[in-house]
Chain A
Amino acid sequence: MALELKSSDNKIFEVEELVAVQSETIKSLVEDGCADNVIPLPNVDSKTLELVLDWCKNHVDMKLDEEKLKEYEDKFIEVDQAVLYDLLLAANYLNIKDLLNRACQKVADMLKGKTPEQIRETLNIVNDFSPEEEEEIRKENLWAFEE
């Protein structure tokens, strides 16, 4: 059975039910009998939705091949930061647990072991602390960096 999903920019995606129900949100709609018409997803643009559906489809196809699936996942998540956050938001909204976990892990890996300055660079954040404030915080948190 096929479902129709509409992205925020009004693009329609026809998807097999088996693939679409990887999303717990869509799954409950189907179970409640509300999925007969086109399902609007005003929070997901077509670019992101296309990626998300690719993830879902491959998770159905490669379900039994753990190694192949891991290879796919690793490659899939190698995206620009902006795309990564869009995927994370979409996975959260559509309630696709494994995608959400993978995206969160990718962001965590980006930040792990970095100094504050390095994190600012990675995330493109401006330091809005005064030098005194910064020194105070550094001293407060020294305990976590000792030994």
Chain B
Amino acid sequence: MKNINTACYSMAETSTSTSTSNKNMKGSPITNLAPDQLFSILLLLPIDSILAFAMTCKRFKALACSDTLWESICRRDWGPSSVDVLKSSNFQFQQQWMRLYRQISKLESVSCHKMTYPDGELELPKPRASHSLNFVSDCLVLFGGGCEGGRHLDDTWVAYIGKDFEKMLKWQKVNSGLPSGRFGHSCVVIGDFLVLFGGINDHGNRQNDTWLGQVTRRETLGITLSWTLLDVGTIAPPPRGAHVACSVDNKFMLIHGGIGLSGLRLGDTWVLELSENLCFGTWREIVTCPSPAARSGHSLTCIGDSRVVLFGGRGLGYEVLNDVWLLDMSEDILKWVQIQYELPNIPGGVSLPRVGHSATLILGGRLLIYGGEDSYRHRKDDFWVLDISAIPSISMQPTTLISKEILAKMWKRLKASGYKPNSRSFHRACADHSGRYLYVFGGMVDGSLQPAESSGLIFDGELFLVELVLQL
């Protein structure tokens, strides 16, 4: 009995105080609602309606602009994991969630910075492409790749980044030999581990082995990285290189396509689940119809909440693709759904089909797409934001018509300022903790009049930083 009575008392108190406080509000029954209830209602509305509500009167402006509400809006629109990372990082945004939401929505440009190295640094990673670059345990980890002469590399490099943005970096070579040299492999982060799969070596052998890598930082020994071969039993995806992979919800690794043993492009989807103690993994194929066509050099990125986005690549007929596919891993019945869109009108004949580009998750739950090659074998240096957050995730049917307003906002070309890196393809990029900075390393850059000839291939060895410019 006493539970209800105390509940009643506090409820009654709130109701009377809200309805009599402002005589402007007489005859306006919505004022009987408590702030929490109004927040629940506002969270069901799109941003423009929330702000329209804020513009009705002073009382509702104070309510609709509250930081508590906007943190929930950021969670709703960006995914809870983005918000949690921001809260725990050192990013100085003074917890003004509404301002941050506005800044991220208005993202128009990036600024590039060339990384510098401390004086007297002897060894730097060789220029390369189709390597792997990941951010794990506060460190940047680089492995393998292909270099001049089509040779493979088998070295592992680590640089401590920490929780803050730094323009100076110290590379350390930590391993050589294991895993065996390769390029076109994939490497993702699950928890504090790197999970590496497949790739091709310079004898043309394609692999399907899976490796776990763990970074350790010790006072006296500095940074070390140990690679172990993962026991996956008898079932594994066919060997391949130039496939894509991403980590989903820090639990699974999803892979798609690539070039297989016969040199043919594949279109299969596989998921790897690690055991609790990380001693073995289980591979299982996901067969859906329809599914993205066979391809290589595309991108697969997890945008949070178990959703992954696949884009571009080179197909069976050697054509460069520009299709976008979404897979929601939380659904009971898994299915790939193609998101149909129309290219926005952009002057200058900018084309969107891409292969060898990078697609990285940035702050705000969107993808930053950079570089790659287009249908004419031209290497690009442009930055695009791919935003599919507006697309409803629940039970999408392939034939669902998505409103034109949502589709129009899907692709946005960003301006780039600061250091101007060379156009490149088959480079690698990864974001730091905050999702505001991207590290980009390597790739193939233009070197001759006819970039298509293998003799004209130039491998790049520079590391640069891409910063999301948040305007006031």
Contacts and interface: CB of A to CB of B under 8 A. Distances in A.
Chain A partners chain B: yes
A40 B4 contact: yes
Contacts of B37: 88-89, 92, 104
B435 to A, nearest CB: 20
Nearest to A101: B40
B41 A107 contact: yes
Interface string B129-164: 000000000000000000000000000000000000
B49 A111 contact: yes
A39 B54 CA distance: 40
B116 to A, nearest CB: 35
Interface residues of B, number: 43
B252 to A, nearest CB: 31
Interface in B252-288: none
A40 to B, nearest CB: 7
A1 interface: no
Given A107-B41, A114-B49, A129 B4 contact: no
B215 to A, nearest CB: 40
A80 B304 CA distance: 40
Contact of A29 (B4, B44, B54, B105): B4
Q: Chain A's interface: helix, strand, loop or mixed, by majority?
A: helix
Interface stretch (B26-34, B89-97, B225-233): B26-34
Interface string B171-193: 00000000000000000000000
Contacts of B28: 123-125
A93 B130 CA distance: 59
Q: Chain B's interface: helix, strand, loop or mixed, by majority?
A: helix
A28 B105 CA distance: 44
B397 interface: no
Given A104-B41, A128-B58, A141-B51, A93 B27 contact: no
Contacts of B5: 40
Nearest to A113: B49
B34 to A, nearest CB: 8
Nearest to B471: A143
Contacts of A131: none
Contacts of B32: 85-86, 89
B60 interface: yes
Contacts of B1: 29, 34, 37, 39
Contacts of A115: 52
A147 B30 contact: no
Contact of B409 (A123, A128, A147): A147
A105 B41 CA distance: 7
B45 A119 contact: no
A147 B49 CA distance: 15
Interface in B1-59: 1, 3-5, 7-8, 11-12, 15, 24-25, 27-30, 32-34, 37, 40-42, 44-49, 51-58
A85 B29 contact: yes
Nearest 10 interchain pairs by C-beta? A108-B44, A116-B55, A141-B51, A82-B29, A124-B28, A126-B24, A144-B47, A107-B41, A144-B48, A104-B41
Given A107-B41, A111-B41, A123-B30, 7 more contacts: A40-B5, A42-B12, A85-B29, A108-B45, A111-B45, A128-B24, A143-B105
